[in-house]
Amino acid sequence: MSTVAQTEQNHHEHHAAKGFKRWLYTTNHKDIGSLYLIFSLTMFLIGGAMAMVIRAELFQPGLQLVDPHFFNQMTTVHGLIMVFGAVMPAFTGLANWMVPMMIGAPDMALPRMNNWSFWILPFAFAILLLSLFMEGGGPAFGWTFYAPLSTTYSNDNTALFVFAVHIMGISSIMGAINVIVTIVNLRAPGMTWMKLPLFVWTWLITAFLLIAVMPVLAGAVTMVLTDKYFGTSFFDAAGGGDPVMFQHIFWFFGHPEVYIMILPAFGIISTIIPTFSRKKLFGYASMVYATSSIALLSFIVWAHHMFTTGMPLAGELFFMYATMLISVPTGVKVFNWVATMWRGSISFEVPMLFAIAFIVLFTLGGFSGLMLAITPADFQYHDTYFVVAHFHYVLVTGAIFSIMAAAYYWLPKWTGHMYNEALAKWHFWLSLISVNVLFFPMHFVGLAGMPRRIPDYALQFADFNALISIGGFAFGLSQLLFVAVVYKCIKGGEQAPSKVWDGAEGLEWDIPSPAPYHTFSTPPEVK
Amino acid sequence: MNKYLSMVSVFLLTTPLVTYGNSAFNMREGVTDISQNVYQLHMTIFLICCAIGVVVFAVMFWAMIHHRKSKGVKPAQFHESTKVEILWTAIPFLILVAMAVPATKTLIAMEDVSKADLTIKITGSQWKWHYEYMGHDVDFYSVLSTPKSQIDDLEEKSENYLLEVDKPLVIPTDRKVRFLMTSDDVIHSWWVPDFAVKKDANPGFINEAWTRVNEEGVYRGQCAELCGKDHGFMPVVVEARSPEAFEQWLSAAKQDKLDAAAASAALLDQTLSKDELMKTGEKVYMAYCAACHQPTGMGLPGVFPALKGSPIVLGDVKDHIDIILHGKPGTAMQAFAKQLSIKEIAGVVTFKRNSWGNDLDQIVQPSEVQARIDANKEAGK
């Protein structure tokens, strides 16, 4: 692959505008990737601050800091921000940076749309966040916005929530279209489907999921809008509607959505584990097939979020079996990662530490997911802290840990500098310990009967809640270390070589570090 | 290895809490055959997960310890094996089939609501439960009884803080009790962990569930579905009594209902003092109105309207009584006609018209409330 010289040559041919205009007008996939990642980190901190409010109120029984109405706004907006503002834009940012470089493309296929799909996001979140300061406050009906709590019984600012979600959805759909068009059309000669890096594969499948379900979410919020403001009764039994239908529509979006937030993580882990095991990924083909089957199955399990809504027995059985089935391809992935490490030559750089933590802790979240699939037991788990523990294990120690792993893995490529190893290790170990103090006891309080989304609780849950809050504050503070590492790494540090990790494979490591503004203007030859 | 240590340290940190008994850590076995089956399912799937976890993580940590670069290990070259991959697809699949069998059996039993001895209709509303014994002419509301002062940390919290109500649901042991769930406003979810019964109460639809309790006792649960501001303050308390004691309780409850009706009728001829009305009114206001309109009468701007200076409270008393009787459709303001007696409504109207700077110096008698009820009935409301 003789692309290095070529890209070096092209390096200075086209210089971007300076200052704010550079970022506002940019169509460069690396700039837009950076914008997405910085935006995501900002949202992660804001959503995290809301989690701190929640944990502060729950530190001890009784109401001390916030009133229940504001508490509900915090749980709602925390969820919305973390899902739509932190995790999804982070993956889109990673896709922007890495997909063209991994497949040997000069840029994303639709650069202007790329600019647009990012720049509408800050407006969506500005609308959502500013609604918190209006009379009546922001959305307080949970991120799942079940009708009729979100329609008849919500406050007048609900329209702002609907508008914000629409913008987020449009942004996601545009991002997904861009990823698909790029991967289908801009692969370098010789980059056949079964040679694609797994991160590219998982993102391709994720993009199809996004295009399939984001319009469903748009439909759901629009029906909420017209029910509330224009006299329709999609979800109002008095007008011939059905509140449970809302949940079917929402979760038809919502379940694929959780895979949207984890499939790219699978891709990241499948990239990092082989690098630091210095051994090829075990079962590449089965990884691709497992990802595809998870994506397909994700469309037929949505009602497992709704076992207590009063479904017919046949429905409950179908969704139980289908949900249990998902653990088979997911298990295959975990087994493949472990088999990759087996008889490798393992070293423990920070990306690898996060990747290993991902495998263990995501698997724990998978186990509780399998438990939740058992319908009779789910009647007890449903809407308790056990569920909160489950989805934070798969989303925080799953998705977020994979994003952290990816950030450490590619930061030297992006900035040209090595990150501060000592600080990064502190970040990892503090995060690992505190995240478990934070989320593990939630299993216990959930099993013991503590419902989720309550601002105050019975006395037998007090000790665990205090412990959980301490874990929460520690985890929140630890993330400031991550900000520090990233900042320092952008500002300077040891010069990174083009191939940062000795065991790494892929086109991105043929490019100098930092990656030049334009790469692969002439496609590389993949053998 | 360090990862194990950190996990273990989390466990050690939490072990002193074991003294609370096993319910602080695990699901309750409960007091019905179904809840015990559910507990068994929970433990089975949990132990299966543990076993799989131990095997997978043992292999992984073995690799992390023995196959390190720092030990000079050269990586192996293998990267696929169809045999192994088929094996670890098939084995989990078989485990799942084995798990699905007992789960299916329990689920079928849970959904069989036929041949019930007693049917109770449960209606959720913001933020209380209404219980109606079908065919027995007994019904009542069940509201959180923990005082606000305990919630606000002004007073020491009682043992059953947030899990206590004014009137618990009473059911017989050893009888199949069928529950019909519905809601007057948003979706609620009626949950008693000891029965393994959790079912959503959907407005406009009726759900079914059942239980057969084996042991007498008081069982506590909570609303499980986010239902607005006071979702956390909507407990469920069920008292299971022996069938004989239950029958006694049921006839007493019927008698209480007749007595209350007689007392109401007697009130029509009486004129109550302002003091008495204000006292009754304040009590009712704090229990039923303050959650939304706030103890200060100021409401929550943009969510719940203020009563201080409210045009309805300061306007025609007929409109004021009517909105309390019938609520305001399409808003969180519910109908209190069935929840409050005429004396209580008269009291709360009087209280609102003479509090927080509302200074009408007007009192409303129970007979006036009854007059509105009769007038509305005639008007077909």
Q: Kindly report, residue by residue over A5-27, the tens digit of the pLDDT.
A: 444 444 444 566 778 899 999 99
* Interface contact A359-B25, CB threshold 8 A: no
CATH number, residue A108: 1.20.210.10
Residues A231 and A296 in one domain: no
Amino acid at A285: A
Whether residue A59 sits in one domain with residue A87:
yes
Q: In whole angstroms, what is the distance from residue B293 CA to residue B303 CA?
A: 9
State the pLDDT confidence band at A177, using cuts at 50, 70 and 90: very high
CB of B237 within 8 Å of any CB in chain A? no
Question: Which tokens is A354 given?
Answer: 């996060």
Give me the count of residues in chain B: 381
Q: Tell me whether residues A383 and B198 touch, CB distance under 8 A.
A: yes
- A527 pLDDT tier (thresholds 50, 70, 90): confident
Q: Are residues A333 and A237 in the same domain?
A: no
The residue annotated as part of the active site, out of A7, A270, A363, A415, is A270
- Do B204 and A236 lie within an 8 Å CB cutoff? yes
Of the partner residues B108, B153, B187, the one whose CB lies closest to the CB of residue A313: B108
* Dihedral angle sign, alpha carbons of residues A427, A428, A433, A438: positive
Residue type for position A377:
A
Rounded to whole angstroms, how far apart are CA atoms A89 and B56?
32
- Write the CATH number of the domain with boundaries B118-262: 2.60.40.420
**Which of B:283-302 have CB within 8 Å of A?**
300-302
B295: tokens are 């103890």
Quick one: pLDDT at residue A462? Answer: 95
Nearest to B42 among A72, A308, A380 (CB): A380
pTM of the model: 0.93
Residue entry with tokens 């006694």: B248
Provide the residue range defining the domain that includes A430.
Answer: 262-503
- Mean pLDDT, all residues of chain A: 95
Segment A438-461 shows an average pLDDT of 96
Considering only CA atoms, which of A264, A168, A273 is closest in space to residue A215?
A: A168
Task: Copy the structure tokens of residue A102.
Answer: 């991994």
A377–chain B Cβ distance below 8 A for any pair: yes
Total count of residues recorded for chain A: 527
Identity (one letter) of the amino acid at A186?
Answer: L
Q: Who contacts A323 (Cβ-Cβ below 8 Å, separation ≥6)? A: A301, A304, A372, A373
* Cα A321 from chain centre: 26
Predicted pLDDT of residue A15: 60
Active-site residue, from A29, A55, A187, A333 = A333
The angle at the Cα of A312, spanning A310 to A318, to the nearest 5 degrees, equals 115
CB pairs under 8 A between A and B: 329
Q: Is A392 in the active site?
A: no
Identify the bridge partners of residue B239 per DSSP, sorted by sequence position.
B170, B218
CA distance A113 to A517: 19
Q: Indicate the residue of A344, A380, A384 with minimum beta-carbon distance to B196.
A: A380
Catalytic residue among A305, A413, A417, A427: A305
* pLDDT tens-digit map of A101-135: 999 999 999 999 999 999 999 999 999 999 999 99
* Statement to judge: residues A454 and A352 lie in one domain: yes
In angstroms, rounded to a whole number, what is the distance separating the alpha carbons of residues A289 and B273?
Answer: 80
Note whether A103 and A186 are within 8 A (CB). Answer: yes
Q: Encoding tokens for residue A173?
A: 């759909």
Q: Does the pLDDT value for residue A214 go beyond 50?
A: yes
Question: Largest Cα–Cα distance in chain B?
Answer: 99
Nearest CB to A367; choose among B26, B49, B68: B49
Identify the residue among B9, B85, B233, B292 best suited for mutation to test binding to A, counting A beta carbons within 10 A and taking the highest: B85
A518 lies in a domain?
no
**Based on the domain organization, do A312 and A382 belong to the same domain?**
yes
Is the domain of A286 the same as that of A428?
yes
Tell me which chain A residues have a C-beta less than 8 angstroms from the C-beta of B20.
Answer: 460, 463
Superfamily of domain B268-378: Cytochrome c-like domain (1.10.760.10)
How is residue A357 annotated by DSSP? H
Flag whether pLDDT at A152 surpasses 60. Answer: yes
**Chain A closest CA to B381's CA: distance in Å?**
17
- Asked if A152's CB is within 8 angstroms of B151's CB, the reply is no
* Contact between B111 and A316 using a beta-carbon 8 Å cutoff: yes
Q: What is the DSSP letter of B219?
A: E
The pLDDT value recorded for residue B303 is 85
Which chain B residues contact residue A370 at CB under 8 A?
45, 49
Peptide bond into A97 cis (omega under 30): no
Whole-number Å distance between alpha carbons of B353 and B307: 9
Backbone phi, then psi, for A225, in 5-degree steps? -60, -50
| Active-site entry in A97, A201, A259, A408 | A259
Give the three-state DSSP class for B167: coil
The nearest alpha carbon in chain A to B81 belongs to A283
Contacts of A439 (CB under 8 A, 6+ apart): A389, A392, A393, A396, A397, A468, A471
Name the residue among A328, A389, A401, A324 with its Cα closest to residue A360.
A401
- Chain B, 113 to 152: residues with Cβ < 8 Å from chain A are 126, 150-152
User: Beta strands of B126-165 (E only): which ranges?
Assistant: 128-133, 138-142
Q: Which of A332, A374, A455 sits opposite B45 (nearest CB)?
A: A374
Give the closest-approach CA distance of A307 to chain B in angstroms: 9
B210 in the Ramachandran plot: left (φ > 0), alpha (ψ -120 to 50) or beta?
Answer: beta
Mark whether A42 and A149 lie in a shared domain: yes
Q: Which residues of B touch A468 (CB under 8 A)?
A: none
- The whole-angstrom distance between A279's CA and the closest CA on chain B is 6
With CA atoms as reference, the chain B residue closest to A277 would be B75
Classify residue A524: in a domain, yes or no.
Answer: no
Residue A440's pLDDT band (cuts 50, 70, 90): very high
Closest CA to A325 of B215, B372, B100: B100
Interface probe, candidates B28, B34, B87, B88, chain A, greatest A C-beta count within 10 A: B88
Min Cα–Cα distance to chain A from B328, Å: 11
**CA A254 – CA A260 distance, rounded (Å):** 10
Inform me whether the C-beta atom of residue A325 falls under 8 Å from chain B C-beta atoms. yes
DSSP code at position B374: H
| pLDDT (tens digit per residue) in A364-416 | 999 999 999 999 999 999 999 999 999 999 999 999 999 999 999 999 999 99
Q: Is A305 a catalytic residue?
A: yes
Residues 282-311 of A with CB under 8 A from B: 282-286, 308-310
- Closest CA of chain A from B308, distance in Å: 18
- A408 close to A357: Cβ distance less than 8 angstroms: no
CB-count exposure of residue B372 (10 Å: 0-12, 13-18, 19+):
buried
Q: How does strand B128-133 pair with strand B138-142? A: antiparallel
Q: What is the number of structural domains in chain A?
A: 2
| Sign of torsion over alpha carbons A54, A58, A63, A65 | negative
Q: pLDDT tens, A53-112?
A: 999 999 999 999 999 999 999 999 999 999 999 999 999 999 999 999 999 999 999 999
- Choose, from A25, A116, A119, A143, the residue flagged as catalytic: A143
Please state the rounded mean pLDDT for residues A211-240: 96
Can you list the residues of chain B whose pLDDT is less than 50? 1, 8, 10-22
> Which residue in chain A is spatially nearest to B86 when comparing CA positions?
A332
Rounded to 5 degrees, φ, ψ at A489 are -70, -35
Instruction: Compute the distance between CA of residue A247 and CA of residue A305 in angstroms, rounded to an integer.
Output: 9
E strands, A370-466, are: none
Same domain, A190 and A282: no
User: Which residues numbered 474-513 in A keep a CB inside 8 Å of some CB on B?
Assistant: none
**Closest in B84, B92, B303 to A69, CB measured:** B303
Whether B293 and B341 have beta carbons less than 8 Å apart is answered as no
Chain B partners of A289 at a C-beta cutoff of 8 Å? none
Mean pLDDT of A498-514: 95
- Residues of chain A numbered 96-155 and touching chain B (CB < 8 Å): 134-137, 140-142, 146, 148-149, 152-153, 155
Structure confidence at residue A432 as a pLDDT band (50, 70, 90): very high
Taking contacts as CB-CB distances below 8 angstroms, the residues of chain B near A279 are: 75-77, 79
At residue B23, the pLDDT reads: 66
The single residue listed with the structure tokens 């809840």 is B35
Contact B53 A364 (CB under 8 A): yes
Q: What is the CATH number of domain B22-110?
A: 1.10.287.90
Q: State residue A429's pLDDT score.
A: 98
Using the Cα atoms of residue B340, residue B341, residue B343 and residue B346 in order, give the sign of their dihedral: positive
A38-A39-A42 Cα angle (round to 5): 85
Tokens for B229, please give them. 């501001």
The predicted model gives A255-280 an average pLDDT of 97
Q: Say what the pLDDT of residue B265 is.
A: 85
- Closest Cβ opposite residue A317 in set B6, B104, B197: B104
b/e map B336-367, b = 16+ CB within 10 Å: bbebbbbbbbbbbbbbbbbbbebeeeebbbbe
Closest among B46, B229, B34, B258 to B137, alpha carbons compared: B258
Check residue A339 and give its pLDDT: 96
Residue B110 near chain A (CB below 8 Å): yes
User: What is the C-alpha to C-alpha distance for residues A130 and A163, in angstroms, rounded to an integer?
Assistant: 13
Single out the residue of B152, B153, B132 nearest to residue B142, CA to CA.
B132
Same domain, A475 and A334: yes
Q: Please determine, for the modelled complex, whether the ipTM score is greater than 0.85.
A: yes
Give the closest residue to B346 by CA, choosing from B317, B326, B375, B374: B317
Choose among B25, B28, B68: nearest Cβ to A346: B68
Residues 395-454 of A with CB under 8 A from B: 429, 432-433, 436-437, 440-441, 444, 447-449, 451-454
Each domain of chain B, given as residue ranges in start order, spans 22-110, 118-262, 268-378
Closest-CA distance of chain B to residue A403, Å: 19
A401, A305: one domain: yes
A192 and A286 belong to one structural domain:
no
CA distances from A272 to A97, A277, A446 (A): 16, 9, 34
Read off the amino acid at residue B309: G
Cβ of residue B273 closer than 8 Å to a chain A Cβ = no
Q: Two tokens at A280? A: 């090829």
Rg (CA), chain B: 28
Pairwise CB contact (< 8 Å): A436 & B7: yes
Q: Could you tell me if residue A521 is inside a domain?
A: no
**Domain annotation covers residue A527:** no
Q: Kindly list the residues from chain A whose CB atom is less than 8 angstroms away from the CB atom of residue B6.
A: 429, 432-433, 436
Q: Is the peptide bond before A514 cis (omega within 30 degrees of 0)?
A: yes
Within this chain, do residues A220 and A273 fall inside the same structural domain, yes or no?
Answer: no
Q: At which of A209, A228, A256 does a domain end?
A: A256
CB-based contact (8 Å) between B247 and chain A? no
Measured over the CA atoms of residue A131, residue A135, residue A141 and residue A145, the dihedral's sign is negative
